[in-house]
């Protein structure tokens, strides 16, 4: 998110299509790009579940020239943090296209940019550093996308196909602990262009809620599709140096507890206590 000068994360996509980097129980991962075939596409067909859904329509807090800030107030539900995908035809089509192109790998490979200066080379080095820590599990962990993450990704993908018009959204999930079931506030800000304007970040809403005793569980954004030659490459599931700069200040000022980055298949999740291990601008 918030990368005014350079395409988001292009530098860190040089990474190795090497699976099994994270500790624990890594998901089964194809190594590198697989050749696609109709039979492979058939085998990889997946369906969504009606159980993975938000129970109400959102309130529109802001809407301006295609940029929106949306808010849901919902009871927490274990399904949100589980593996079910929403029954969203556009999301399933996106995933099918990525899989058919052999691009659904945890460590995406995209065209490597050529640094135009020493400063830019230093920046790419720092981006790779952050991605390496994500990949190795030394700071945070990459795992499969969950239902709520997929719902938010699907929402933006429906507004703007990530295969045709790559864009980024920024979402916040806040929690109020209550007996029985916690309450959640979910905020979603996005534009129809690549980066959402600050007017739809929703941090003012977050601040109001935090002052009322809500915890800011995590901020989620997406790293959108890249290219590897003629092929699709997923966005890198890692925090960029500019992301780190932002989430550190949000942790200090508003108590942000964790950051997440998803690409529609894989999500990087890193707690605030580990932000200090990552490199910032």
Kindly report the three-state secondary structure assignment for every residue of 179-205: CCCCEEEEEEEECCCCCCCHHHCCHHH
For Zn ion, the closer CB: 1 or 173: 1
**3-state secondary structure at position 172:** strand
Q: Which stretch binds Zn ion (CB under 5 A): 91-99, 105-113, 172-180, 240-248?
A: 240-248
Greatest CA separation found in the chain?
A: 56
Query: Taking CB under 5 A as the rule, does residue 243 contact Zn ion?
Result: yes
**How many CA atoms within 13 Å lie on the side-chain side of 102?**
15
Q: Which stretch binds Zn ion (CB under 5 A): 120-128, 150-158, 181-189, 233-241?
A: 233-241
Question: Measured between alpha carbons, how far is 150 from 212 in angstroms, rounded to an integer?
Answer: 28
For the chain, how far is it from start to end, CA to CA, in angstroms? 13
Q: Which stretch binds Zn ion (CB under 5 A): 1-9, 21-29, 60-68, 118-126?
A: 1-9
Question: Measured between alpha carbons, how far is 167 from 98 in angstroms, rounded to an integer?
Answer: 16
* Least Å from the CB of residue 194 to Zn ion: 11
Q: Answer yes or no: are the C-beta atoms of 107 and 16 closer than 8 Å.
A: yes
* Least Å from the CB of residue 174 to Zn ion: 20
Query: Taking CB under 5 A as the rule, does residue 1 contact Zn ion?
Result: yes
For Zn ion, the closer CB: 217 or 242: 242
* Least Å from the CB of residue 236 to Zn ion: 9
For Zn ion, the closer CB: 146 or 236: 236
* Least Å from the CB of residue 251 to Zn ion: 16
* Least Å from the CB of residue 239 to Zn ion: 6
Question: Measured between alpha carbons, how far is 108 from 15 in angstroms, rounded to an integer?
Answer: 7
By the criterion CB under 5 A, which residues form the site for Zn ion? 1, 240, 243
């Amino acid at each position: 998110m918030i990368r005014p000068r350079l395409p988001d994360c292009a530098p860190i996509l040089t990474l190795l299509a090497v699976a099994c980097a994270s500790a624990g129980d890594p998901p089964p991962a194809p190594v590198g790009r697989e050749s696609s075939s109709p039979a492979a596409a058939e085998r990889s067909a997946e369906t969504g579940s009606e159980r993975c859904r938000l129970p109400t329509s959102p309130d529109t807090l802001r809407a301006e020239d295609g940029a929106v800030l949306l808010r849901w107030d919902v009871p927490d539900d274990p399904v949100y943090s589980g593996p079910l995908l929403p029954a969203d035809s556009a999301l399933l089509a996106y995933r099918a296209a990525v899989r058919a192109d052999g691009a659904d790998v945890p460590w995406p490979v995209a065209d490597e940019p050529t640094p135009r200066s020493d400063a830019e080379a230093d920046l790419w080095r720092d981006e790779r550093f952050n991605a390496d820590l994500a990949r190795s599990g030394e700071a945070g962990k990459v795992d499969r996308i969950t239902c709520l993450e997929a719902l938010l990704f699907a929402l933006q993908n429906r507004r703007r196909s990530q295969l045709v018009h790559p864009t980024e959204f920024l979402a916040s999930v806040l929690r109020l602990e209550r007996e029985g079931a916690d309450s959640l506030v979910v905020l979603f800000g996005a534009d129809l262009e690549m980066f959402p304007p600050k007017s739809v970040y929703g941090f003012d809403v977050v601040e109001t809620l935090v002052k009322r005793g809500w915890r800011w569980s995590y901020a989620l954004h997406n790293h959108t599709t890249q290219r590897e030659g003629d092929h699709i490459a997923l966005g890198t599931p890692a925090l960029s140096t500019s992301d780190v700069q932002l989430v550190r200040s949000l942790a200090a000022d508003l108590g942000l507890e964790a950051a997440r980055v998803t690409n529609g298949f894989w999500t990087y999740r890193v707690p605030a206590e580990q932000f200090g291990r990552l490199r910032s601008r």
